[in-house]
Structure 1
Amino acid sequence: MIGQNALVIGLARQGMAVIKHLADGDTSVIATDLRSAEDLATPIQDLSSYAINFVLGEHPLSLLDGVDIIFVSGGVPLDIPLLQEARAKGIPLSNDSQLVLEQLPCRVVGITGSSGKTTTTLLTGKIIAASQTYKNVWVGGNVGNPLLLDMHEMTDQDIAIMELSSFQLEIMTSSPHIAGVLNVSPNHLDRHSNMQEYVMAKEHILDGQQSDDIAVLGWDNEITRRMSKRVNGHCWGFSMNSDANFDDGCFIKNEKIMLRRDGVTNSILPCQEVGLLGAHNLMNVIAASALAAAAGIEVDAIQAGICDFDGVPHRMELITEVNGVRWVNDTMATTPDRTIAALKAFDDPVILLLGGKDKKLPWHVLAQEIQSGVKNIILFGEAAPAIKRELEGAWYEYKLEVGARFGEQYGTQFADEGSGSERLVKESTAGEAADSDPIPVITNLLETAGMEQAVEAAHTLSNPGDVVLLAPGCTSYDQFSDAIERGECYRDLVVNLS
């Protein structure tokens, strides 16, 4: 790209990496961001040694004059007027991940999905590093450091593991040598216009693969399983079921993680030796095992990497136990589906903290899931009123369904137990039959202003044996810069309790 003129939109982590990489390669760079120079004082200072032209506080269409290519940061919507005009003019769009795939000298494993990406990416890196099959293992992309910053140190004896989001994939045309699609469920519908558009973005990870490349697909998810028809090279799978119909991949049989490769099946390790909480994390381990095996890693190294993996901060992280109450941080559970997965990890009563900035995702499945096992729901943040409306609406429909199902058999009535909370009350006329199949109890619902008030309320409501779980089901951008900052705030508040 020497001698070309590049426009970089967005001065966050990805944009900064692109600017430095391009400027080091003698590309003329214009950087633009809607934030002011005052707000961007730190990144501007970081770029002070480079000859960068900044246009801040606006995206005028004149930015396109003389531009050969545009690099779009993941947080920048593709429907802004500047990018609509760029497409009309035929100016190509790219991003940091596209640059990595075009220029890296080594083999690349790319991982995407609606959930589990970060845990699977880091665990895959851990497993491959344990094998010492490659000289160096580089892990980055949407997690950790952008790989562009380390590319000058990489050789063809290395391997890179990349986490890729739909925001990156939707404009990418290159694919990794090994592409993992973990699962697809509703997510980011505040960014993608509909579910079909979101699925298409995820599918882009497969479209540039060649005949000798490998796709590793989540077989228990209907959408990702159907992607097998799009695979250009070899198709692997991973599943919780032993009868999944793929030739190569990982699965569960007799409570053990198994690997089937080239017609030979081997046991990796018993499921009980996986130290991570929750069935969803067991699925992440199976996925990472399949991805590592696809990269040529042997069973003993896969086992060693799994056993040496302690999990990822802010993902089902046990912070502490105070007076018999466990406090768990799963701030990265930013969709209702991830909240459900977190809830399923616990048999003890749960006080659930929900809230943040809503992504316009459906809440009705979560509303049904929390009929049992959840002691209290504490709402916080911008989305709290909307979540309350959604849950109460879903509960009302569920109440009618339960009433129709159990009313004649047990004699059921509904009682109002105060603002924001309804409870199904059973008047048993069926003796022991009622006890064997009780009507679920609707959970108490409390709305608070923010994280501090939510933690205080949870502390007040909790009893020994309870679990207080932050699994917000929303993004953090209403009150925090990102989900990690939200998790650190929660952790600090909890530690102060003890």
Structure 2
Amino acid sequence: MTLQEYIASIQDKSVAIVGIGVSNTPLIELLARSGIRVTACDRKSREALGSEAERLEALGVSLKLGDGYLKDLTQDIIFRTPGLRQDVPELLAAVDRGSVITSEMEVFFQVAPCTLIAVTGSDGKTTTTTLIAEFLKAAGKTVHVGGNIGHPLLCEAGEMAPEDYAVLELSSFQLMTMTRSPHISVITNLAPNHLDVHRDMAEYISAKENIFTHQTPEDIAVFNADNAITAEQSARAVGRMRLFSRQSEPEEGVFLRGDAIISRKNGAEREVMKTGDILIPGIHNVENYMAAISAVDGLVSDEDMRHVARTFAGVEHRIELVRTLRGARYYNDSIGTSPSRTIAGLRSFPEKVILIAGGYDKHIPFDVLGPEIVDHVKLLILCGATADKIRACVESAPNYQGQPEMMTIPDFKSAVETASQRAGEGDVVLLSPACAAFDQFKNFMERGKVFKQLVEELK
């Protein structure tokens, strides 16, 4: 089915789109201009939407705003925003009345004419997705990047060609209701995350599995052999299974031997690149490269992949060097929204760092973070809602002997200024909060941008 065929098939239907944001606004406009009756629903007030409300109404869109935005939905089709669970009472009631619940990404999987490559996991999704896209671009392919990064792709599906590639980063929220899987799937790793939204870890893992559950035997599924959860999942792969590993040498996949990244396929192996070819720091980025290589092996030449490795400077907010001031380096790792992400960031530096951590409480355990902070941090500056929880995890770590020094500074600006006052020649100041940003910021991107601005303003 093409995008135009899908639009034609719902021409006589009423449609509700939940969430007037970046991902859904192009869809609202497309359907409205196609003559479909569209109701846009959002918790924001009309005042908060500002001129956007008038612009959408001028297109013929009905608006349902404020606290009751989900009440009494009767439309034939309801597009769910990824952050909204499909089993909230209002959506369940709509289903009982005959509504069909879907999402922008689910429909994109129905209508996309090209090869779909998708990445999920707890950590490394964005970098791995970006690397796959950069590899394919280096090989001269036409690439469309979307999902959690890039921009919404559904509205562009009609312009895509069969020989193109769509490379997607998918969250557990997007995957929860997916009934189709990509041609090539990658799971970077899995660890506790988003337990403020998912009922439990089992539901979180189950959502992630939709990235490979609906594949065909001709498709490819890439798993992390070093992660207990993804290693177990690999045994249930429907498509052709590939593993990547730093700790072992799988029969089919990509692995590390000394400083060489090796690919093994059908019993034959070759060296793809050296770890020294990789410009961005951290052993976790070596893992991201191995995951990306596993996904495109056979589609991209080794030389093209080495070229990307030597020139790719990384993704914003991921161990991003902001500034060197008085001999101290400042790094923005605001993507560190979970303990495992922050652990990866800490392990990227040979020296002990000054760490700024803390943020919104996603109700995930910090136990594993404590020993790593003791091993890798010389001064811990805590702010945000989880400050006390992180302090407790450090103090209860088996290797804790009164170090590192810990300070709680609720104000983010003051936390950055304190780190600067304490940083000397050769020090590393690292923002890697181990938490989401919602207690003080709209998202981790805003937090990272504020951090960078504060660092640039330091005198």
TM-score, L = length of structure 2: 0.93
Alignment correspondent of 2:273: 269
* Mapped partners of 2:184, 2:395: distance in 1: 46
8 Å CA contact 1:378–1:445 kept in 2: the answer is: yes
Matched, 1:344 2:347: yes
Runs of 4+ in structure 1 off by over 4 angstroms are none
Which has the greater radius of gyration? 1
**Structure 1 residues 287, 50: CA separation in 2 closer, same or farther (over 3 Å shift)?**
same
CA RMSD of aligned residues (A): 1.9
8 Å CA contact 1:97–1:168 kept in 2: the answer is: yes
* Mapped partners of 1:156, 1:389: distance in 2: 50
8 Å CA contact 2:76–2:98 kept in 1: the answer is: no
**Structure 1 residues 60, 269: CA separation in 2 closer, same or farther (over 3 Å shift)?**
closer
**Structure 1 residues 79, 309: CA separation in 2 closer, same or farther (over 3 Å shift)?**
same
The residue type equivalent to 1:69 in the other structure is I
1:20 counterpart (16, 29, 47): 29
**Structure 1 residue 169 displacement after superposition:** 0.4
Residue 339 of structure 1 aligns to a residue whose secondary structure is helix
* Mapped partners of 2:339, 2:71: distance in 1: 42
Q: Deviations over 1:161-215 (max 9, x none)?
A: 0110001000111111111111110000000010000000000111221121111
Identity across aligned pairs (percent)? 36
**Structure 1 residues 264, 2: CA separation in 2 closer, same or farther (over 3 Å shift)?**
farther
Alignment correspondent of 2:114: 106
Alignment correspondent of 1:334: 337
Q: Deviations over 1:337-393 (max 9, x none)?
A: 111110011122211101221111111111111112311111122x1xx4324532x
The residue type equivalent to 1:257 in the other structure is I
Give the stretch that moved more between structures: 309-318 or 474-483: 474-483
* Mapped partners of 1:278, 1:453: distance in 2: 28
Alignment correspondent of 2:103: 95
* Mapped partners of 1:449, 1:281: distance in 2: 31
**Structure 1 residues 193, 489: CA separation in 2 closer, same or farther (over 3 Å shift)?**
same
Alignment correspondent of 2:160: 154
8 Å CA contact 1:59–1:82 kept in 2: the answer is: no
The residue type equivalent to 2:383 in the other structure is F
Alignment of 1:369-408 (within 5 A): 369-381=372-384, 383=385, 386-392=386-392, 394-398=393-397
Residues matched between the structures, number: 450
Matched, 1:29 2:38: yes
Residue 359 of structure 1 aligns to a residue whose secondary structure is coil
**Structure 1 residue 22 displacement after superposition:** 2.8
Alignment correspondent of 1:284: 288
1:366 counterpart (339, 362, 369): 369
Alignment of 1:3-402 (within 5 A): 3-45=12-54, 47-59=56-68, 63-65=72-74, 67-89=75-97, 91-132=99-140, 134=141, 136-244=142-250, 246-247=251-252, 249-293=253-297, 296-381=299-384, 383=385, 386-392=386-392, 394-398=393-397
* Mapped partners of 1:389, 1:263: distance in 2: 49
Give the stretch that moved more between structures: 301-310 or 158-167: 301-310
**Structure 1 residue 42 displacement after superposition:** 4.9
* Mapped partners of 2:265, 2:139: distance in 1: 17
8 Å CA contact 2:43–2:69 kept in 1: the answer is: no
8 Å CA contact 2:76–2:100 kept in 1: the answer is: yes
Q: Deviations over 1:117-160 (max 9, x none)?
A: 1111111100011112x3x1111111021112422321112111
Alignment of 1:343-492 (within 5 A): 343-381=346-384, 383=385, 386-392=386-392, 394-398=393-397, 424=401, 441-492=402-453
8 Å CA contact 2:370–2:395 kept in 1: the answer is: no
The residue type equivalent to 1:494 in the other structure is V
Residue 250 of structure 1 aligns to a residue whose secondary structure is strand
Residue 223 of structure 2 aligns to a residue whose secondary structure is strand
**Structure 1 residue 59 displacement after superposition:** 3.4
Alignment correspondent of 1:2: 11
* Mapped partners of 2:55, 2:307: distance in 1: 40
8 Å CA contact 1:268–1:299 kept in 2: the answer is: yes
Residue 354 of structure 2 aligns to a residue whose secondary structure is strand
The residue type equivalent to 1:111 in the other structure is V
The residue type equivalent to 2:391 in the other structure is L
* Mapped partners of 2:88, 2:408: distance in 1: 35
Give the stretch that moved more between structures: 195-204 or 5-14: 5-14
**Structure 1 residue 2 displacement after superposition:** 2.1
* Mapped partners of 1:61, 1:491: distance in 2: 38
* Mapped partners of 1:25, 1:226: distance in 2: 46
8 Å CA contact 1:120–1:287 kept in 2: the answer is: yes
TM-score, L = length of structure 1: 0.86
* Mapped partners of 2:266, 2:350: distance in 1: 39
Residue 371 of structure 2 aligns to a residue whose secondary structure is helix
**Structure 1 residues 211, 26: CA separation in 2 closer, same or farther (over 3 Å shift)?**
farther
* Mapped partners of 2:113, 2:81: distance in 1: 23
**Structure 1 residues 174, 125: CA separation in 2 closer, same or farther (over 3 Å shift)?**
same
Q: Deviations over 1:49-85 (max 9, x none)?
A: 52211100033666422x2221111122334331232
* Mapped partners of 2:418, 2:221: distance in 1: 46
Structure 1 residues without counterparts, runs of 5 or longer:
403-422, 425-440
* Mapped partners of 1:62, 1:313: distance in 2: 38
* Mapped partners of 1:395, 1:333: distance in 2: 17
8 Å CA contact 2:136–2:300 kept in 1: the answer is: yes
